[in-house]
Every structure is written in structure tokens, then in C-alpha cells.
Chain A
Amino acid sequence: NAGVMQNPRHLVRRRGQEARLRCSPMKGHSHVYWYRQLPEEGLKFMVYLQKENIIDESGMPKERFSAEFPKEGPSILRIQQVVRGDSAAYFCASSPLGPRERDYGYTFGSGTRLTVV
């Protein structure tokens, strides 16, 4: 199956630990997007990446959060020194398109549910 693969599905971290969320885009897709969803809320944009490039990180908190999409391997969303407020569902999506091409929407992964205790 060439869908968007996210892991882990569930992640529990104690306050102050690091969380690493991984996303492999759909086959043929070179653009990856990370979104955060709090309970009963919509999807909030975090970051848009292409291989080895961050295209738009306007939704990323300035501290503790970082993202990468290396030439080889999955995209990683890293949260350092997690706090309870980081508890949320983190969704990765991919699309095949670049900035000047028609949008066809996203294919989402199944998400990572992060719980900070």
C-alpha cells in the first residue's frame, strides 16, 4: 500500500521528554505537511516541507518544535521538552505538487496521538 505512513500511532511521554513523530509520504509525493488537532478543534497548520527544504514553517512554535524531511528517509517532527499542552493528534499529509501547480488536496496519514503525562 502506497498510503501516507505515520508512526507511532500512539505515543506517551512524560513532561520534559522528547517526542519524535515520523511520516513517510505517499509514493510519488514529494511535499509533506504537518498539522496538529486538539480535541473538538480543527486542523492547525504547522509546517510544509519538501525534500531537504522547509517551505513554510509559519505555524511552528518558535521553541521546542522542529521538523525535517531528509533526502533519504521519513519526515520527522520533533518536540523537545514536551509539556501537557502538547498533547494532541498530529497528522501528516502529502501531495504531489509544487507551488506553481494545481492543488489536488491532501492524502492524510492515520496520525500520531501524543499524550504527555
Chain B
Amino acid sequence: QKEVEQNSGPLSVPEGAIASLNCTYSDRGSQSFFWYRQYSGKSPELIMSIYSNGDKEDGRFTAQLNKASQYVSLLIRDSQPSDSATYLCAVNINAGKSTFGDGTTLTVKP
């Protein structure tokens, strides 16, 4: 079992729809959770962090964490073509080192 698993995708949604990206992790001791966006040929960019159960909203992005189910998700509302990218889920057991999932590629169609 991988430490961090994401739906491989690709995920395609129409412009204006909600995109839902999912991630599960294996270590119950995980403390910090992150979502990064990576455009093709570019480096990852941090877009969301979450540390406690529940929802965290930032603009069109909402991160959701459920530690009991070892599940973290990212919702993108009103999806735009510029949101088309690969989204990486990252999990930290201890401060510092992040373990990344293999990413989900999202395509938002105009």
C-alpha cells in the first residue's frame, strides 16, 4: 500500500463546475496535510494546508480532512480552464519531510 494515494485521473470537468480531488494516507500519526498545484513543465506550488478535522476554505478552494477515515480532499468551485493542472497531495508525519501522492491531472473544459 502506498503511503499517500490519489485517484490517478485524469479528471475532466466543464468550466464552472466543482472539481473534487481525493487523497488517502496510510499513517494514522500524520499531522499536516497539503495540496500543491503543478502546471506541466513547472514546479509545484502550495495552494492549501490543513491540520485539523473539518473544512478549510480559501477563495474557490476548500480542503477537507477526516483523520478517522485517513482522507483528505480538495474541492475547486467554479472551475476555470486555468485550473487545469496536476494536483499533488502531500502528508507530513513529522514536521519537515513530506510524502507526496502521484497526483491527479485535472482538465477544465471551456
* A residues lining the B interface (CB < 8 Å): 31, 33, 35, 41-45, 48, 55-56, 91, 95, 97-111
Total interface residues in chain B, CB < 8 Å: 24
Main SS at interface, chain B: loop
Whether A97 contacts B96 in the complex (CB less than 8 A), given A103-B32, A109-B43, A110-B43, comes out as: yes
A61 to chain B, nearest CB (A): 17
Residues of chain B with a CB closer than 8 A to A102's CB: 32, 51, 95
For the complex, is B25 an interface residue (Cβ under 8 Å from A)? no
Contact with A along B92-108 (1 / 0, CB 8 A): 10111111111100000
The 9 A-B residue pairs with the shortest CB-CB distance, nearest first, are A42-B102, A103-B32, A108-B43, A105-B46, A43-B100, A105-B34, A42-B100, A103-B95, A99-B95
- Is the Cβ of B49 less than 8 Å from the Cβ of A99? no
Q: Which residue of A lies closest to B4 (CB)?
A: A42
- Is the Cβ of A108 less than 8 Å from the Cβ of B45? yes
A75 to chain B, nearest CB (A): 15
Residues of chain A with a CB closer than 8 A to B36's CB: 105-106
Whether A43 contacts B44 in the complex (CB less than 8 A), given A102-B51, A103-B32, comes out as: yes
